[in-house]
Amino acid sequence: MKKEQRFTRKEAVALSYDPEVSDAPKVIAKGKGKIAENILERAQEHAIPVQEDPSLLELLGQLNVNETIPEELYQAVSEVFAYIYRLDREKSSMK
């Protein structure tokens, strides 16, 4: 099999953040293969934006489910949340 034909298994990490409950976002789901596909399908069903960032995915993938993100990842994750908030605002203004 040629390198460009290699199958790469999907990976996904889902985050949640509620400032009234926690000081930092936490991992609420993660998985590879079929589990990742299910996470992405659920996000689509609920109109939750998906951000593709392989480097961040690799770092977040090392965390356990229900684990809050470490301080070193605050900036990267805050950029993702800012992106999502912008999308939500744009979507709301189109209604």
Determine the structural domain holding residue 42 and report its residue range. 3-93
pLDDT at residue number 47: 86
Pick the closest to residue 48 from 4, 13, 74, 11 (CA basis).
13
Check: CB of residue 51 under 8 Å from CB of residue 19. no
Q: How many domains does the structure of the chain reveal?
A: 1
CATH code at 44?
3.40.1690.10
Q: Convert the pLDDT of each residue in 35-83 to its tens digit.
A: 999 999 999 999 888 888 899 999 999 999 999 999 999 998 888 888 8
Question: What does pTM read for this prediction?
Answer: 0.79
pLDDT surpasses 60 at 2: no
